[in-house]
Amino acid sequence: MNVTKTNIDGCFILEPRVFKDERGYFFESFNQQLFESLTGAKPYFVQDNESFSTKGVLRGLHFQKGAYAQAKLVRVSKGEVLDVGVDLRPDSVTYGAVVSTVLSAENRKQLFLPRGCAHGFVTLSEEAIFCYKCDNFYHKESEGGILYNDPTFAIDWILAEEELIISEKDKDLPVFKEVIPN
């Protein structure tokens, strides 16, 4: 497995070794011992989630607060997305940093986001199945979010604004300054 550090402290892009032959392919999508030895992170994943989206669907930027914060390991099993993370940890050396990378069924890359990061993605292909492991259980009262087009981050979502399909809930999220007092 190839592991690349990102510009967010504790956030990594992982690329598994893929074994192909005439029958198809095989790869190990997660191995706790290998993950820990390559990243130094020691999440204990307790929940797996999956979502299906069509082209232009933008989900995010979401996070869980306090004791319910979640580290996530995300990947795409069908299609292609632009995946985005934002460091919201005030004591982090990379506070406010943004990471974005294309995850696809073809490149099989994964993104690990430590606790304290907001997360979102936009579907670039006609359809996508997005899979993520979480190291803490979802807790509705602890959910939070930041507006996807917050000028503080100037995230390039690749698609034009008129191509984006965003829930009313996500359109109504606050901007960074309202979520994290400066």
Say yes or no to pLDDT of 180 above 80: no
Residues 15-23 have a mean pLDDT of 94
* Token pair of 131 as six digits: 């899979």
How far from 157 is each of 35, 83, 141, CA to CA, in Å? Answer: 29, 9, 28
Catalytic member of 25, 44, 62, 139: 62
Catalytic member of 68, 132, 139, 148: 132
Residues 150-173 have a mean pLDDT of 97
The pLDDT mean for the chain works out to 96
Contact 117, 65 (CB under 8 A): no
| Confidence bin at 182 (pLDDT 50/70/90) | very low
* pLDDT tens per residue across span 100-156: 999 999 999 999 999 999 999 999 999 999 999 999 999 999 999 999 999 999 999
Instruction: Name the CATH superfamily for 43-179.
Output: Jelly Rolls (2.60.120.10)
Does residue 139 carry a catalytic annotation? no
